[in-house]
């Protein structure tokens, strides 16, 4: 019996070689350069650069706002995906296309728009600021703009899963006396959990490195509204290149660790579902 060629791509070796070269040039070499630059510092210098009140406050704010935006996007993304898939309404395609606007819109433009809307004299700020809601130059502003940037990731991850979901399972559960809430929680939601975790991971990773929009809305106040990417840029502007790369290394290591944990949860949920 002739052997079956299981290789999908023609020219497997050249294709694999090109992929590895592409990955090395764009990812591995820049990361290696970052680690090598940080290694020029002594341990005491490295520790002083990455472990000080300003850096710790930047780490806390960066990861805290990214997690908050990711959780908000999981809820909003699921709700929007559900409406777009399960309901018919006028201008549905138009609103569906608006979901991808953060992908096409420069993040700096988003930051400028948000800062102008939520300042004290802005269209929304003139009503919200007297109520104590500061949507510009505050931590709330950072969460708002990160939520806007990350929303499409959850919607576009959950939407195809909802479209392919077998509605007969819901109908069977309803015939057995289950309420709509019970059908959603016991039948639909378990199928969506892997997609929700994937969307959460994508939003979280996207928010960690966001700079263009946050720099316009946060105020960049050290120890208060300064995120880690802004602190890195501040070190670069001061010609402290090794210190900047040291902070970047810490940010990379923490980010990789959290993404590994999220990927583990995603695989676990898929095995549990199967």
For residue range 42-91, what is the model confidence (pLDDT) as tens digits? 999 999 999 999 999 999 999 999 999 999 999 999 999 999 999 998 99
Domain of 55, in residue numbers = 50-273
> Where residue 106 sits, what CATH number does that domain have?
1.10.3720.10
Q: Provide the sign of the torsion angle of the four alpha carbons 39, 41, 44, 48, taken in this order.
A: negative
- Asked if residue 1 has pLDDT above 70, the reply is no
Among 106-110, 202-206, 254-258, the range scoring the smallest mean pLDDT is: 254-258
For 25, 113, 186, 233, 245, the CA distances from 30, given in Å and listed in that order, are 7, 33, 46, 17, 11
Identify the pLDDT of residue 73. Answer: 96
Question: What would the DSSP string read from start to end of the chain?
Answer: -PPP----SSSHHHHHHHHHHHHIIIIIHHHHHHHHHHTTS-HHHHHHHHSSHHHHHHHHHHHHHHHHHHHHHHHHHHHHHHHHHH---TTHHHHHHHTTHHHHS-HHHHHHHHHHHHSTTSTTHHHHGGGT---SSSHHHHHHHHHHHHHHHHHHHHHHHHHHS-HHHHHHHHHTT--HHHHIIIIIHHHHHHHHHHHHHHHHHHHHT--TTHHHHS---TTTT--HHHHHHHHHHTT-HHHHHHHHHHHHHHHHHHHHHHHHHHHHHHHHH-
Average pLDDT over residues 157-172: 86
* Domain contains 31: no
pLDDT attached to residue 106: 87
What pLDDT, on a 0 to 100 scale, did the predictor assign at position 194?
87
Which pLDDT band holds residue 235 (cuts at 50, 70, 90)?
very high
Please say if the pLDDT value at position 110 is more than 70. yes
| Residue 19 belongs to some domain of the structure | no
Angstrom distance (rounded) from CA 245 to CA 36: 9
130 found inside a domain: yes
Residue 15 within any structural domain of the chain:
no
Average pLDDT over residues 5-19: 69
> For the chain, how many structural domains are there in total?
1
Please name the residue that has the structure tokens 């959850």.
Answer: 154
Tell me: pLDDT of 7 over 60: no
Q: What is the pLDDT of residue 150?
A: 93
For residues 112 and 22, the model is more confident at 112
Position 41 in a domain: no
Residue 177 lies inside a defined structural domain of this protein: yes
Note the pLDDT of residue 265. 75
- Is residue 120 situated within a structural domain? yes
Domain presence at residue 155: yes
Q: How far is the C-alpha of 25 from the C-alpha of 12, rounded, in Å?
A: 20
Mean pLDDT value of segment 155-179:
85
pLDDT of 272 over the 70 cut: no
Instruction: Please tell me the predicted confidence (pLDDT) of residue 11.
Output: 67
């Amino acid at each position: 019996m002739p052997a079956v060629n299981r290789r999908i791509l023609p020219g497997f070796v050249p294709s694999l070689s090109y992929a590895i070269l592409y990955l090395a040039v764009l990812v591995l070499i820049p990361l290696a350069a970052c680690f090598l630059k940080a290694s020029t510092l002594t341990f005491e210098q490295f520790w002083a650069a990455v472990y000080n009140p300003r850096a710790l406050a930047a780490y806390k704010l960066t990861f805290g706002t990214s997690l908050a935006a990711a959780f908000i996007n999981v809820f909003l993304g699921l709700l929007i995906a559900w409406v777009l898939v399960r309901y018919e309404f006028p201008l549905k395609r138009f609103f569906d296309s608006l979901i991808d606007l953060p992908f096409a819109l420069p993040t700096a433009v988003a930051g400028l728009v948000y800062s102008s809307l939520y300042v004290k004299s802005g269209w929304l700020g003139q009503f919200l600021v007297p109520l104590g809601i500061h949507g510009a130059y505050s931590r709330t502003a950072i969460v708002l703009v990160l939520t806007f940037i990350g929303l499409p990731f959850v919607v576009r991850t959950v939407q195809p899963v909802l479209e392919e979901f077998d509605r007969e399972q819901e109908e069977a559960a309803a015939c057995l006396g289950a309420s709509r809430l019970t059908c959603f929680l016991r039948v639909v939601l378990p199928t969506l959990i892997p997609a929700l975790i994937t969307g959460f991971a994508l939003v979280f990773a996207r928010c960690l490195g966001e700079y263009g929009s946050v720099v316009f809305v946060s105020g960049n106040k050290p120890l208060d509204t300064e995120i880690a990417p802004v602190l890195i840029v501040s070190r670069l502007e001061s010609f402290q290149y090794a210190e900047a790369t040291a902070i970047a290394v810490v940010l990379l290591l923490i980010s990789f660790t959290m993404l590994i944990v999220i990927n583990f949860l995603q695989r676990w949920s898929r095995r549990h579902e199967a």
